[in-house]
Amino acid sequence: MVDRAKKHLLGEVGQSTRASLKAYARLARWQAAVLLLELRGGVQADVIMYSMALTACERGHQWPAALQLLDDMERTRLKADIILLSTAISACKRGSQWQQALSLLRRAGSCQMQLDVIIYSSTLSSCQSASRWHEALLLLGHMSRIRLQLDVVAYSSAIASCGAAGQWQAALHLLHCVEEDRLRADGGLLQATITAAQGQKQWQQVLHMSQKVEKQGPLQGFDVFSLRSDVNALGIGRKWELMIVCLEQHCDIMCDASGHQEGILHDAGATLGQCRQWQHAVSLLTGAVVEEGQKDVGLKSAAIVAAEKGGQWELAFLILEDLKQRRAGPSILTYGAAIKCCETAGRWHEAVLLLSDLEMQRLQCTLIVLNAAMSACGKAKKWQQALMLFQQAATQSVEADVISVNSVISACEKSRRWQEALALLSQLFDVQLEADLTSFNAAISACEKSSRWQQGIMLLASIADHNLQPNAVSYNAAISACENTGFWEQAICLLAELAVKNVQLTIVTASAAISACEKGGRWQVALSLFTDFRREGLYNVVTYSAAVSACERGSGWSQALELLRQLERDRVQANEVVYNSAIGACAVCTEWQRALGMLENMELADLQMDATGISAVIGACESADQWQLTAELLFDLEAFAAQIPFIVWSAQ
């Protein structure tokens, strides 16, 4: 009698435990489920209880706890069935533990369980979440060998794995296998395949698949995805005309795609902007019929971004004013886009006005917006205004960052305010902001533009103290500073240092070093450098110009003419500076015939003769007592008389 009552009581406790575990599984309360299983009050746990606890772990994304429960079952001599292992594999999938999932699948096979499509699909899904496309293909192959009927779900997981790993060819092959197996591809499978091709910018394949599906008939929920994929594909292929046609042909889908319309229009607007079709982008984004609210504000903001691509700051202002009249009103993103538009167009004053207007609209200014306004001032060489905005950041509860300081340093650099640039760089350290390479490069360039080569070189040397590696831009600015002052020895030293630190030499560096030697009166060293640089493929019209100018400085007319011939062999288009320097080299040595011939060659090359070259030729003719020719030149080139220096007229 007592035993019967005890069994009845334990049965009631067992039922209560199962009910609690079922509730915990439904609510994904895995900690409570595991704890209850451990503290079950003498009730013998069974497979059902473990199954519920495993479900709780799976839904709670707790794959380690799920595997621990399987180990506990083995110790209590309970045998896990195919459903339990499928649940554990699903938990591993949620945690991207594809190796554990494959191990569990092998365990099921070694226990002589009847493997079905469900357990394989769960394992395939774990490969999908970890982008293990090769393992996914092996699993599909194994399913075929054991004669399991592959379904659309299994194919979708494998295709998604291929797509995530960038294996679009394998994804297309699997889609072909679906057709061979006479399965009807659903929207999910087709989306996975298109996404695979789209991720690798295979836009023709995306369009081909969309057209193929369209011929087969409509699929539930696929139309909107297909349209957006087509828009993205045509954007990748820069086929903006076809994209506009596509949107016009599918206007009915656009009307029904209320939740996706904004995204499709954003994608189309971005493509038109990249293709420099800002007029079409603005027309598309401002003409879209959407509910007035945040979606409308978002599209208008995108239209301002499109206007910025075309430098149409006035149009951006018009769109902004239109938004002010609407109930939702412009957002901080709208103002940010408009200020960016002003920055691109060099309209610093309008950018500052927009900041004031933003405050009147009671919108909180962000650091990105403030940085854009400071950059607009910097590009217009308005360093005082940029500095003022930087100082106002604290009053607007905006914490400036290194980009903010860099914007002001760049403004000082463009305005040749080297002292202010160095002060701002020092201020970075005072407020415990870490200066980056852009900070140093801008400050060095400020010193270069003000011919402060010593300060520039000191800054270059201090870069390493801040755990930064100077790049080509750093050395270019420092060598250019030496060039401006003719300190050729220091420029050569910097070139050697650049080579030791394995910094990539550029044409700008080469031209600056040659010019430094030329201005320092070392024209032969300049020519030697040019020869070395040319051997390394570092030459263009600028390096040739610097080398020919060095010949002019050293009266090396024959070398100048040889450089002109070499320039032609290198298929470099000569400009006025190169010809004028070569004419000057000949004129200094009274080679008036050659100087005159090069002046004629300039005309044949459709280059504009200017006062510099004409003055040099006239000077050479005058030195050679070619008075008649000098008079003829002055008469024929009367249009340039106002530009010719006074010394030429005194020679007459």
Q: What is the mean pLDDT of residues 630-638?
A: 61
How far apart are the C-alpha atoms of 618 and 639, rounded to whole Å?
15
What is the three-class DSSP state of 632?
A: helix
Confidence class of residue 83 from pLDDT cuts 50, 70 and 90?
confident
pLDDT category at 65 given cuts 50, 70, 90 is very high
pLDDT at 622 over 80: no
CA distance linking residue 326 with residue 616, whole number of Å? 66
> Is the pLDDT higher at 406 or at 39?
406
Is 28:59 a contact under the CB 8 Å cutoff? yes
Percent of the chain at pLDDT > 90 equals 3
Q: What single letter denotes the amino acid at residue 15?
A: Q
Our measurement of the distance from residue 150's CA atom to the centroid of its chain's CA atoms, rounded to an integer in Å, reads 41
Whole-number Å distance between alpha carbons of 593 and 582: 13
Q: Name the band, by pLDDT with cuts 50, 70 and 90, for residue 64.
A: very high
Return the pLDDT at 432: 65
Among 42-56, 211-225, 315-329, 594-608, the range of highest mean pLDDT: 42-56
Share of the chain above pLDDT 70, in %: 82
Is there a contact between 410 and 378 (Cβ–Cβ < 8 Å)?
Answer: yes
Fold of 505-652: 1.25.40
Which residue type, as a one-letter code, is found at position 54? Answer: L
Q: What pLDDT is attached to residue 312?
A: 82
Most confident of 254-258, 262-266, 556-560, 598-602: 556-560
The rounded mean pLDDT for the chain is: 79
Q: Hey, how many other C-beta atoms are within 10 angstroms of the C-beta on 466?
A: 14
DSSP letter string, 574-620? P-HHHHHHHHHHHHHTT-HHHHHHHHHHHHHTTPPP-HHHHHHHHHH
Provide the pLDDT confidence category of residue 389 given band limits of 50, 70 and 90. confident
**Each residue's pLDDT tens digit, 120-145:** 888 888 888 777 888 888 888 888 88
Residue 644 has pLDDT above 50, yes or no: no
Mean pLDDT for the stretch of residues 12-29:
79
Minimum mean pLDDT range among 4-18, 237-251, 436-450: 4-18
Q: Which of 219-223, 306-310, 323-327 has the lowest mean pLDDT?
A: 219-223
Check if the beta carbon of residue 194 is closer than 8 Å to that of residue 163: no
Amino acid, single-letter form, for residue 643: Q
User: Hey, what long-range contacts does 151-155 have (CB within 8 A, 24 or more apart)?
Assistant: 151/117, 151/121, 151/183, 152/178, 152/183, 152/184, 152/185, 152/186, 152/188, 152/189, 153/117, 153/121, 154/117, 154/120, 154/121, 154/124, 155/183, 155/189
Ranked by mean pLDDT, the top range of 5-19, 268-282, 632-646 is 268-282
Which tokens is 86 given? 């499928």
As a whole number of angstroms, the distance between CA 287 and CA 295 comes to 13
Domain spans of the chain? 505-652
At residue 153, does pLDDT exceed 80? yes
Give pLDDT, residue 2. 36
**3-state SS class at 521:** coil
- Higher pLDDT among residues 247 and 34, named by residue: 34
Torsion of the alpha carbons at 439, 440, 441 and 442, rounded to the nearest 10: 50
Q: Mean pLDDT, to the nearest integer, of 377-406?
A: 82
